[in-house]
Amino acid sequence: MKRGRKLLHRLRACGAALIAAQLSLPLTARALDAAPANPPAPLVAAASDLQFALDEIVARFGRETGIAPRVSYGSSGNLARQIEQGAPFELFLSADEAFVDRLAARGLTRGGGELYAIGRIVLFAPRGSPLTPDPELADLARRLATGAAGRLAIANPEHAPYGRAAEQALRALGLWAAVQPQLLLGENVAQAAQFASSGNADGGIIAYSLALTPALRERGTFALLPESLHAPLRQRMVLLERASPGAERLYEYLRSPAGRASLARHGFGLPEN
């Protein structure tokens, strides 16, 4: 009799567990269905002069929206070429609006985009360098004339807008022919800044936005070059054909007062759009 009662209790316990399991399954499924999916991370191509400013903007954008863009930095020319070859970028921030115009002409963008910043260049010299930065590159000119000039880092002018601006400034001051044997070319302006600050060169002509970063300010000094020495660095951004809603939101965030304020803090001029 006792054995029968124990068996009955076990059957009841098993039945209750089975019922609970059956009831929990639909609830779990409904909970999973109701849980919000993580927003897809838009893929962004950005000029390397933006690295520190855009990292700051993207981090704040992610905290506010839950969207975490993935950013690839490089020279604007190389990034534009990758887009033309089918790279799956959704938003392009170029340091030269000509590359955006080229992509738009090929039907790879959503419209012509928008001017978001005006860039500046500086002559940077690391601590201990014999080169003294000045706005007219007078010390560089003296050192070139006496044969005492060391290496000078710039971004490759063939595909990097900041390298082209550096070349224009050196040409404007009559130094291009003399400095060419001393040039150390970076793939982009961030690499040129690395060369200039690491002791691989006496200095470099790099982006103002990079010279303002704490790491470079600790390593050396710089002089802001006059805008009259080079063509304006008109930086344009554009949504690409495959842009997702997340990319569209980041584009609008960059146009917002918060986005523009971040760019200004990092040394960019703000166009009056």
Q: For every residue of 102-132, which 3-state class applies, written as one string?
A: HHHHCCCECCCCEEEEEECEEEEEECCCCCC
| Contact indicator for 243, 91 with CB cutoff of 8 Å | yes
Residue 4 has pLDDT above 90, yes or no: no
Predicted confidence (pLDDT) per residue in 204-262, tens digit: 999 999 999 999 999 999 999 999 999 999 999 999 999 999 999 999 999 999 999 99
Whether the pLDDT of residue 23 is over 70: the answer is no
Q: Would you say 161 and 240 are in contact if contact means Cβ atoms under 8 Å apart?
A: no
Per residue in 113-150, pLDDT (tens digit) is 999 999 999 999 999 999 999 999 999 999 999 999 99
What are the tokens at 66? 């839950």
CA distance 258 to 265: 11
**Calpha distance 265→188 (Å, rounded):** 22
Query: In angstroms, rounded to a whole number, what is the distance separating the alpha carbons of residues 149 and 141?
Result: 9
pLDDT score of 273 = 58
Q: CA 137 to CA 217: how far, in whole Å?
A: 19
Task: Kindly tell me the number of DSSP H helices and DSSP E strands found in the chain.
Answer: 12, 10
Mean pLDDT over 61-88 rounds to: 97
First-last CA distance in the chain: 90
Distance CA 105, CA 99 (A): 10
pTM, entire model:
0.84
Give the pLDDT score at 272. Answer: 82
Determine contact, residues 110/240, Cβ cutoff 8 Å: yes
The pLDDT, as a whole number, for residue 38 is 64
